[in-house]
Chain A
Amino acid sequence: MYRYDEFDRKFVNERVAEFRGQVARRMSGELSEEEFRPLRLMNGLYLQLHAYMLRVAIPYGTFSAVQMRKLAQIARTYDRGYGHFTTRQNIQFNWPKLEDVPNLLAELADVEMHAIQTSGNCIRNVTADPYAGAVVDEVDDSRIWAEIVRQWSTLHPEFTFLGRKFKIAVSASDYDRAVVRFHDIGLFIKKNDAGETGFEVWIGGGLGRTPMIGKISNEFVPAEDLLSYLEAVLRVYNMNGRRDNKYKARIKILVHETGLDELRAQIDAEWAAIKDSALKVPEYEIERIRAYFAPPPFETLDAVDRGFETKKFEKPEFSRWVNGNIVAHKQAGYAIVNISLKTDDLPPGDITADQMDDLADLAEIYSFNEIRATHEQNLVFAHVKQSELYELWRELGEIGLAMPNIGKVTDMIVCPGLDYCGLANTRSIPVAQRISKRYADLDRQFDLGELKLKISGCINACGHHHVGHIGLLGVDRRGEEFYQITLGGSGAEDAAIGSIIGPAFSSADIVDAVEELINFYVEIRNQGERFLDTYRRVGAAPFKSRLYPEKLDAAA
């Protein structure tokens, strides 16, 4: 894991001091709320329906047991005993008081954490593949490059007041576990024929009101030129992106309106002018950062652990959890463990302070002190010995975190919705909880296989509904909460934007409607076919006529 050196530490402490001053000026009235707003947002502090909300950065989703314990303590001291993991691998606290925030940030700085650029119209916290450093299919550890981008983008003087927020994600795999294609800039690490590292760069992806899949602006930017290329893209965007309408201000609109070829030419012209400058990433810095992400001291183990195999045979429940939540590790005898935060008791992505403390202990025992947050609002222990999976499963079960539903219908991405958010039309959490209850039977979930359901409480799409195999969008119908259904989206390597299937359903009817669609899929699926693949095979029409039979009657 990356550790701060004296420069990082000093910088973050100075940022805390600066923000402390800004809060004091706000409290004394020297700064108006309007003036304070962009300053607090750049430090992750939102004003929501009932209170302030602080979003703490977890750069590329990797954090330590010590950091997790600090988050638990913050949840107890400043919040109401829980935290909420977000789709950008961050964590949110919902009830801090403004005057407490500087102290809260100082406590975070003690464990090398911060809230810098978790909001605002600047370059946001960089995200990455949550399996980085552990998974078989990567060409490099994406966190190395995410850290380089994090440092370059931190309080960048030129890109702090962009037209709109700007999100960057990094992956080193053909499998997209970080919705890379839906970022303002998505980076896929590649090796060229000479074995050199570079980046396939996607620009202009995004969700929100106008969902768009990114487009490739450059197929191979050499590693040392990464920062100059990013700077060229950002400069062209900052100068030319629309400022007249905040809903048309993201780079995706600039790509769309300018055209990819023209925009690429502008980026390339700017890049050519700045490529051979101090923006080149020096080899020693790449190696310095790479060293922090060196593999942990793995033991030499057999590829298959006999005890583990026996336990799977003896304990069907354990076996189901293994089938659902475990992914192959590149090191023989190890496994990647997904820990679902889609449990029966709490809203999706939520975790109690006690669970945080317990998970910190477990991470120390079983996974080299390290924890990952995923964009699907779950957690990962990246390096667990197969021989210890059973013990870990038992201990996770004791704290209510052994739900084996990763990638299943109840593993939903869900925005906070009207329960917390001032922008929302509808509540998302109660609908998610009702769907969870409807599909509580795990056999039924496993029979359905991978099914990604995502819920947003408004058109801003924080719940990623556009890329759900089934997406629900909350809409307001004369003061009533309604939900529009989209089908066929995907945020993975088979990226697609879902299509609206028909008129919205009331809150009372929406869960039945979802079940109707899923039942129909079960009736017509081919063997082993996912919901998404069935939908792609037969198209929207059969699903539509199943969901709205009365429309057909009326037409007949």
Chain B
Amino acid sequence: MPLLKGRNIVEDAWTLLVDGLEIPEAGFVIVSLDRFTRDRDLLVACSGPIGVRLSSAQSPQLIVDALEVFSLIELEFPAFTDGRSYSYAQLLHRLGFAGEIRAVGNVLRDQYLNLKRCGFDALEIKEGETAEDWSIATGAFSAPYQVAYDTEKPIMSLREQRLAAAS
């Protein structure tokens, strides 16, 4: 599936490893949490990069002792109304995860900004969708009211800057 990263659509170098299939030595595979729990030693031993996909009912707390194993964590949105993964992304950053965080599943274009602000690096989109289709989702607001993971300055800080500039 193509990915939206920033404003660009890129090809996905990773594959979702069907449970039961062997782990390729080159890595670039994404496994389920079940598979990771079962084959943890094999996966840790793999020389290539490994990713994991968490369902929206699986908190990153479940892999808190294995974050360094993963180069990629996919967080699932089974329905666009299930917003747990926004908090999971924030939590992953707070726990020090430095790899890529990706949203997969059912996401509305109107939610893209929320994903970005919560620290998602990429979003899986449908085959055939264009960057233009998603452009609607970017830049609706010139400044947010609150701090989040992204580097957007909240309105509160902009006010402080204005205040400082005036004095």
Contact = CB atoms under 8 A, between A and B. Distances in A.
A155 B146 CA distance: 9
B140 interface: yes
Contact of A235 (B81, B91, B116): B91
B84 A285 contact: no
Interface in A1-45: 5, 7-8, 10-11, 14-15, 17-18, 21-22, 35, 38-39
A156 to B, nearest CB: 6
Contacts of B86: 157-161, 238
A298 interface: no
Interface in B111-131: 111, 113-118
Contacts of A14: 140-142
A238 B156 contact: no
B38 interface: no
A239 B84 contact: yes
Interface in B139-156: 140-148, 154-156
B118 A157 contact: yes
Interface in A115-162: 121, 151-162
Contacts of A152: 145-146
Nearest to A8: B155
B118 A278 contact: no
B159 A39 contact: no
Q: Looking at A10, A239, A288, which has the most chain B CB atoms within 10 Å of its CB?
A: A239
Nearest to A39: B110
Given A21-B136, A157-B118, A285-B160, A238 B83 contact: yes
Contact of A161 (B57, B59, B82, B117): B82
A284 B160 contact: yes
B88 interface: yes
A148 to B, nearest CB: 9
A400 interface: no
B88 A239 contact: yes
- Majority-rule SS of A interface residues: helix
A284 B144 contact: no
Nearest to A278: B147
Counting chain A CB atoms within 10 Å of each CB, which of B87, B116, B159 scores highest?
B87
Contacts of B154: 278
Contacts of B159: 5, 7, 284-285, 288
A243 interface: yes
Contacts, number: 111
A157 B94 contact: no
A227 B80 CA distance: 26
A153 B94 CA distance: 20
Contacts of A238: 83-84, 86-87
B80 to A, nearest CB: 7
B45 interface: no
B75 to A, nearest CB: 12
Interface residues of B, number: 41
Interface in A271-328: 273-274, 277-279, 282, 284-285, 288
Interface in A529-551: none
A285 B155 CA distance: 10
A262 to B, nearest CB: 14
Contact of A38 (B81, B148, B163): B81
Nearest to A42: B110
Contacts of A273: 94
Contacts of B91: 235, 239
B64 interface: no
Contacts of A5: 159
A62 B115 CA distance: 33
A156 B84 contact: no
A155 B160 contact: no
B90 A155 contact: no
B158 interface: yes
Nearest to B90: A158
Contact of B59 (A21, A155, A239): A239
B108 interface: yes
Interface in A426-481: none
A279 to B, nearest CB: 6
Contact of B81 (A159, A161, A284, A288): A161
A33 to B, nearest CB: 13
A284 B83 CA distance: 33
Interface string A478-517: 0000000000000000000000000000000000000000
Nearest to A227: B146
B141 A157 contact: no
A273 B61 CA distance: 14
Interface string B32-64: 000000000000000000000000110100000
Contacts of B157: 278
Nearest to B116: A157
A333 B113 CA distance: 52
Contacts of A11: 141-143, 145, 155
A144 to B, nearest CB: 14
15 contacts: A10-B142, A11-B141, A11-B142, A14-B140, A14-B142, A121-B81, A121-B83, A157-B113, A160-B86, A161-B80, A227-B146, A235-B87, A243-B84, A279-B147, A284-B160
Given A14-B140, A277-B147, 4 more contacts: A38-B80, A151-B146, A157-B86, A160-B111
Q: Closest 4 CB pairs between A and B?
A: A161-B83, A157-B117, A157-B114, A278-B147
